[in-house]
């Protein structure tokens, strides 16, 4: 089974690198600069789960992509999705399965329209990773997971086949029969964390230490959860309690990656992660005072950034 990993940044580089390390047939779709870096230094992974340097990992650039692949692992940012689709489209054949690891849900509609719903699986990942100044993939904590599955909840033959290669290299890879629910639950957690830490420009712990901070945090969680419920994917008891615990942990230094992107003056996924959630909440007539304010804040940042 041939796997095309779109990009070799922190996420694609880590999961694709682990698959390659285990002997799977993996190719990275990269831009010229990244191809040159990988050719000279290799794909270097620094991780609590074990370091590895993969010499001359197989790469291809968009203008040279002509072969079809069995699986496409997509880990780009939402604002790069259109360009990513153009770059990997030639690799999609009748039997190709696309596994997107983006946050939110809007990308599913876009991918369905381009390639057909039957080729697009549900997917999500959880990992803390970054590229350092040497362009090495650095995993910041041992925790990692990669979930994927049919969006109708069935355990299909193709998912079983993909699971054989994913679990051969990736610790925490799981073929799920409840992937859409899991995607919604991650979206609830992520959007609450991003909206809160971006709006307040600080960590969870500092928000909680401020007057009415706990009420603010839990109010944001209530709004995002209500949107999920209206869509038929109310957060489950264990998930909700775990998320509530993380978001009310006093002294927590946790922030969203979107907040860190704002601090760095970088592009953010305002529309994909927060704006689409607001639109779905409006359609369901869910009151969204806090989430709407956070979205306005994010769009003002984008306007300022230009």
Element of type H or E holding 73: strand 69-74
C-alpha to C-alpha distances, 237 to 242, 244, 270, nearest whole angstrom: 9, 10, 28
User: Do the beta carbons of residue 72 and residue 114 sit within 8 Å?
Assistant: no
Among residues 153, 176, 199, the one where a domain terminates is 176
Q: Find the angle CA(296)-CA(302)-CA(304) to the nearest 5 degrees.
A: 100
Name every residue whose Cβ is closer than 8 Å to that of residue 117 and which is 6 or more positions away in sequence: 151
pTM of the model: 0.94
Check which CATH number belongs to the domain holding 120 and give it. Answer: 3.40.50.720
Token pair for 63: 């203008």
Distance CA 193, CA 258 (A): 9
Token pair for 194: 């991003």
Range of the domain at 195: 182-305
If asked whether residues 143 and 194 sit together in one domain, one would say no
126 bridge partner residues: 145
Per-residue model confidence (pLDDT) at position 146: 97
If asked whether residues 214 and 298 sit together in one domain, one would say yes
The backbone region for 119, taken as left when phi is positive above 0, alpha when psi lies in -120 to 50, beta otherwise, is alpha
Residue 212 phi, psi (nearest 5): 65, 15
If asked whether residues 123 and 188 sit together in one domain, one would say no
Relative to beta strand 52-54, strand 173-175 is unpaired
If asked whether residues 226 and 150 sit together in one domain, one would say no
Name every residue whose Cβ is closer than 8 Å to that of residue 292 and which is 6 or more positions away in sequence: 278
Based on the residue annotation, tell me whether 290 is a catalytic residue of this protein: no
Per-residue model confidence (pLDDT) at position 237: 86
Per-residue model confidence (pLDDT) at position 111: 98
Per-residue pLDDT of the chain (306 residues; tens, 9 = 90+): 999 999 999 999 999 999 999 999 999 999 999 999 999 999 999 999 999 999 999 999 999 999 999 999 999 999 999 999 999 999 999 999 999 999 999 999 999 999 999 999 999 999 989 999 999 999 998 999 999 999 999 999 999 999 999 999 999 999 999 999 999 999 999 999 999 999 999 999 999 999 999 999 999 999 999 999 999 999 988 889 999 999 999 999 999 999 999 999 999 999 999 999 999 999 999 999 999 999 999 999 999 998
If asked whether residues 223 and 131 sit together in one domain, one would say no
Q: What is the DSSP letter of 55?
A: S
Looking up tokens 């690799």, which residue turns up? Answer: 91
If asked whether residues 191 and 296 sit together in one domain, one would say yes
If asked whether residues 117 and 155 sit together in one domain, one would say yes
Helices (H), the chain: 10-21, 32-41, 81-88, 106-115, 157-166, 179-200, 204-209, 213-230, 237-247, 257-263, 276-283, 289-305
Name every residue whose Cβ is closer than 8 Å to that of residue 201 and which is 6 or more positions away in sequence: 259, 262
If asked whether residues 149 and 191 sit together in one domain, one would say no
Residue 174 phi, psi (nearest 5): -140, 130
Distance CA 31, CA 8 (A): 9
User: Do the beta carbons of residue 69 and residue 4 sit within 8 Å?
Assistant: yes
If asked whether residues 211 and 241 sit together in one domain, one would say yes
Number of H helices and E strands in the chain, helices first, is 12, 10
If asked whether residues 122 and 137 sit together in one domain, one would say yes
Per-residue model confidence (pLDDT) at position 239: 87
Name every residue whose Cβ is closer than 8 Å to that of residue 94 and which is 6 or more positions away in sequence: none
- Tell me the CA end-to-end span of the chain in Å, nearest whole number: 43
Number of compact structural domains in the chain: 2
Among residues 118, 142, 176, the one where a domain terminates is 176
If asked whether residues 60 and 99 sit together in one domain, one would say yes
Catalytic residue among 33, 77, 186, 263: 186
**Signed CA dihedral, 262, 266, 271, 277: sign only:** negative
Per-residue model confidence (pLDDT) at position 213: 98
If asked whether residues 71 and 165 sit together in one domain, one would say yes
**Burial (CB count <10 Å: 0-12, 13-18, 19+), residue 25:** middle
């Amino acid at each position: 089974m041939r796997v095309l990993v779109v990009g070799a940044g922190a996420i694609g580089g880590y999961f694709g690198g682990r698959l390659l390390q285990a002997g799977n047939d993996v190719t990275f779709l990269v831009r010229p600069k990244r191809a040159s870096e990988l050719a000279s230094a290799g794909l270097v992974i620094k991780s609590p789960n074990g370091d590895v340097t993969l010499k001359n990992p197989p790469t291809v650039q968009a203008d040279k992509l002509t072969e079809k692949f069995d699986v496409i692992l997509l880990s780009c940012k939402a604002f790069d999705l259109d360009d990513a689709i153009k770059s990997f489209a030639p690799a999609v054949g009748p039997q190709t399965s696309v596994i997107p690891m983006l946050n939110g849900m809007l990308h599913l509609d876009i991918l369905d329209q381009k390639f057909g719903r039957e080729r697009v699986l549900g997917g999500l990942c959880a990992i803390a990773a970054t590229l350092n100044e040497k362009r090495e993939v650095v995993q910041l904590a041992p925790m990692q997971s990669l979930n994927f599955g049919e969006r109708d909840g069935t355990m299909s033959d193709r998912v079983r086949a993909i699971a054989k290669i994913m679990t051969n290299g990736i610790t925490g890879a799981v073929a799920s029969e409840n992937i859409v629910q899991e995607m919604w639950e991650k979206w609830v957690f992520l959007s609450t964390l991003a909206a809160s830490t971006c709006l307040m420009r600080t960590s969870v712990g500092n928000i909680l230490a401020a007057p009415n901070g706990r009420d603010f945090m839990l109010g944001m969680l209530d709004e995002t959860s209500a949107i999920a419920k209206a869509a038929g994917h109310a957060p489950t008891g264990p998930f909700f309690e775990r998320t509530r615990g993380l978001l009310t942990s006093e002294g927590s230094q946790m922030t969203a990656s979107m907040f860190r992107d704002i601090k760095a003056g970088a592009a953010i996924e305002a529309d994909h992660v927060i704006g689409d959630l607001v639109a779905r909440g409006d359609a369901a007539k869910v009151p969204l005072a806090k989430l709407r304010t956070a979205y306005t804040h994010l769009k003002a940042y984008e306007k300022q950034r230009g």
